[in-house]
């Protein structure tokens, strides 16, 4: 998954409602929607800290199946270093 594909993963069709809560003792605001996927009701919520547009957490629930998924988003704007595998063959 690439970062540009991430918002597409969250773009469920449906009506969004504003919700609020707390994450690590800090206030967050969120958007919640429901949608049917493969015949199951999915409840998705995306949270951001107040005063910023960067998401910090995404929760997906399928209540009828007891499914819960939590994705935490951190370290925004930090450099990512990906070392080459130990036995990589250079391409040149």
pLDDT of residue 1 exceeding 60: no
Listed in sequence order, the DSSP H helices in the chain are: 5-10
6-57 pLDDT, tens digit per residue, is: 667 666 677 899 999 888 888 999 999 998 889 999 999 989 887 777 888 8
What count of other Cβ atoms lies within 10 Å of the Cβ of residue 47?
21
Q: What is the pLDDT of residue 4?
A: 67
Give the tens place of pLDDT for each residue, 61-78. Answer: 999 999 999 988 888 888
Q: What is the pLDDT of residue 3?
A: 62
34: nearest Cα among 23, 19, 52, 49: 19
pLDDT at 20: 92
Under a CB-based contact definition with an 8 Å cutoff, are residues 20 and 32 in contact? no
């Amino acid at each position: 998954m690439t970062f540009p594909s991430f918002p597409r993963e969250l773009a469920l069709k449906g009506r969004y409602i504003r919700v609020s809560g707390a994450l690590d003792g800090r206030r967050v605001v969120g958007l919640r929607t429901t949608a049917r996927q493969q015949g199951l009701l999915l409840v998705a919520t995306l949270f951001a800290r107040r005063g910023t547009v960067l998401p910090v957490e995404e929760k997906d629930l399928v209540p009828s199946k007891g499914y819960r998924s939590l994705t935490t988003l951190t370290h925004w704007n930090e450099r990512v270093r990906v070392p080459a595998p130990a036995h990589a063959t250079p391409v040149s």
